[in-house]
Amino acid sequence: MPPHLTRRAMLATSLTVAAGAVAFGFWQGLRSRAELEQSPAPPLLLSEDQAARARAVAQQHPTVQALVGSIALSGAQAPINPVTGPDGRIVAAGVWFPFDAPRTVRATWVHPADWEVNWPPTRFVQATYTVENAEGIFVWVDLASEQVVRIEASGPYARVAPEEDPFVLRGELRDRAIQLALDAPWLKGLLTKDEARVSEPPRAIYDRHGDVWGAAVSLQFAQPVDVSGTFPFVDKPEYASWDEMRIIERTVSQKTSNLVVIVSLREGRALGLW
């Protein structure tokens, strides 16, 4: 290419980037000013018809029917909220059936595992287990198919019976996760000084597609240990998926008797402390 064409192309590139940057800065300035002064965007709402149909579907679910005597509100009064899919549109209705008092409930519960990227969801964690201290049940009804795609017991202190918990790793995956945690090179110093035991089955960590990519392994020391130095920590915005986590180096100095190690089963290594 002749030199003057190269220069012209470079100039055009530079001008394009500069114009983009100026436009972006201007837009950001307008945006931040507008956001600080804006009135709230109108909330996404279900129509009355959608709400009525979703309540009717949810109410007919066998698990809801089995517990109807414990539910504090009639089906028509059950609070309902919109559920938005991956593209931000309303795709389902969440119907909440609060109990008259915290209860122990046993049923087959359904969790959609990939709903943040696929709607309707295609992968589910479905299991029968007991939940203690449940304060109610919520049911998601897919508006298009009018099918129940999620049903869970919930409450601030709702607790899944440990031996039935579907979110823990078992068998080979459990053993592998524990071994990866214990093999973490940055833990060696602590593990040689004090004996640690794995205090509970590792908890599975899913990505947004519903695949198990890792685990949280909880290590309990017989007595508090002095954790001092620079360690890798797994950092993730609270509502982000685990695909978006990052590893940061953090210098700490504290005594603790419990450490949680995040391991990647895909990468076959411990990533950092939690």
Partner 1 sequence: MTRLHVPFATILSFTLFLFVGATVFAGSTTTYTTVSYSGDTWYNWDNTSQSCACSNAVDWPVTMIFRTYANVNRVKDILGGYSGSSMYLRANDGNGWFWDSDGGRKLPISGYPTGYYHHVRLYAPYPADYFYSTAWGRYVLATTHIDWNEFSSSRQFGWSETAEEYFAAFFRNRGYSVTEDTFWMANNDSWPSGRWGEGNRNFYLSNGYATIVVLP
Positions touching partner 1 (CB under 8 A) are 9-10, 12-13, 16-17, 20, 24, 31-32, 35-36, 38, 40-41, 43, 79, 81-84, 88, 92, 94, 96, 98, 111-116, 125, 138, 140, 150, 152, 154, 156-159, 162, 165, 167-168, 200, 203-206, 210, 216, 218, 233, 235-239, 250, 254, 256, 258, 260, 274
DSSP structure string for 47-108: -HHHHHHHHHHHHTSHHHHHTGGGBSS-GGG--EEEEE-TTSSEEEEEEEEEEEEEEEEEEE
Minimum distance between the CB of residue 20 and partner 1, rounded to whole angstroms? 4
Of the pair 146, 244, the CB lying nearest partner 1 is at 244
Q: Smallest gap, in angstroms, from Cβ of residue 147 to partner 1?
A: 17
Q: Which is nearer to partner 1, 67 or 92 (CB)?
A: 92
Among the listed residues 136, 108, 146, the one whose alpha carbon sits nearest the alpha carbon of residue 124: 108
Smallest gap from Cβ 83 to partner 1, in A, equals 4
Q: How far is the CB of 65 from partner 1 (least distance, A)?
A: 20
Q: Tell the smallest beta-carbon distance from residue 145 to partner 1 (Å).
A: 17
> Between residues 116 and 183, which has the closer beta carbon with respect to partner 1?
116
Smaller CB separation from partner 1, 31 or 170: 31
Nearer to partner 1, 7 or 192 (CB): 7
Q: In the complex, what is the shortest distance from the CB of residue 220 to partner 1, in angstroms, rounded to a whole number?
A: 11
8 Å CB contact between 97 and 64: yes
Tell me whether residue 5 or residue 192 sits nearer to partner 1 (CB atom). 5
